[in-house]
Amino acid sequence: MAENAVLEINGLEKSFGALKATDNVSLTLRPGEIHALIGPNGAGKSTLIHQICGTLKQDKGTIHLGGQDVSSLSVADRARLGLGRTFQISSLAGEFSALRNVMLAVQAQQGSSFHFFKPVLKDKSLTEAAMERLSRVGLADRAHVPAAELSHGEKRQLEIAIALALDVRAFLLDEPMAGMGPEGSKTLTRFLDGLRREAPILLVEHDMDAVYALADRISVLVYGRIIATGTVDQIRNDPTVRTAYLGDHA
């Protein structure tokens, strides 16, 4: 194990027929950091995220979370250990309030589904725990708004509140800026900047302004391989990266 890594990927490989979508990928996520994963379309970013959260089985290699080998665990078991892919907006129950959405997550985490005879909304400890998570993401005053009526950015915040309810240890954020306007992107960037205090973030993102503003380290994926890992300055000035991906965005 790399010293201190919350998440450690070692020698991961995945092929689709003759195509090597993940080619000997190793990377770490350290406490408190935002590690951005960038690369051209089709480079294998989503395929990598799928293997980390367990929706896709790797052919080779290992994934450790907090020192524990999770490589063969199910998606649900990995999520229970605090590894979850966030920003699957469809996982929000749109007709339920923001509060109710978080309460369901708190309840799932507490394994209290056996108490189904107790009306969820009347359970004070659940309400308090959910409100606490909503406050941490700045949504306390939107608690009673149905999820479907929240703005795009607020839905992202609600997803994070749900992840916090599930005691997340590492965030896997897949293109959080997608579909956001310029103002929304700025607000979400500020929000993610603070979020690293809760848990480190592996951030897949095409929006280079957000990546440069947020990343402690960047890994560049091209044709399934990591061609460089470094700080923002190192990556922006790396001639190989400029040729393979950044070009005018450096």
Ligand X SMILES: Nc1ncnc2c1ncn2[C@@H]1O[C@H](COP(=O)(O)OP(=O)(O)OP(=O)(O)O)[C@@H](O)[C@H]1O
Residues that bind ligand X (CB under 6 A): 16, 19, 21, 39, 41-47
Write down the least CB distance from residue 58 to ligand X, Å: 13
Write down the least CB distance from residue 241 to ligand X, Å: 15
Cα distance between residue 241 and residue 238, in whole Å? 5
In terms of CB distance, is 42 or 194 closer to ligand X? Answer: 42
Write down the least CB distance from residue 223 to ligand X, Å: 9
Write down the least CB distance from residue 63 to ligand X, Å: 16
In terms of CB distance, is 168 or 220 closer to ligand X? Answer: 220
In terms of CB distance, is 45 or 64 closer to ligand X? Answer: 45
Cα distance between residue 37 and residue 74, in whole Å? 24
* SS3 state at 198: coil
In terms of CB distance, is 38 or 164 closer to ligand X? Answer: 38
Cα distance between residue 169 and residue 190, in whole Å? 20
Tell me how far the alpha carbon of residue 151 is from its chain's centroid.
19
CA dist 91 → 86, 101, 160, 169 (Å)? 9, 9, 12, 19
Tell me how far the alpha carbon of residue 124 is from its chain's centroid.
29
Write down the least CB distance from residue 12 to ligand X, Å: 12
In terms of CB distance, is 42 or 179 closer to ligand X? Answer: 42
Q: Which residues pair with 4 in a beta bridge?
A: none
Q: Which residues pair with 8 in a beta bridge?
A: 28, 64
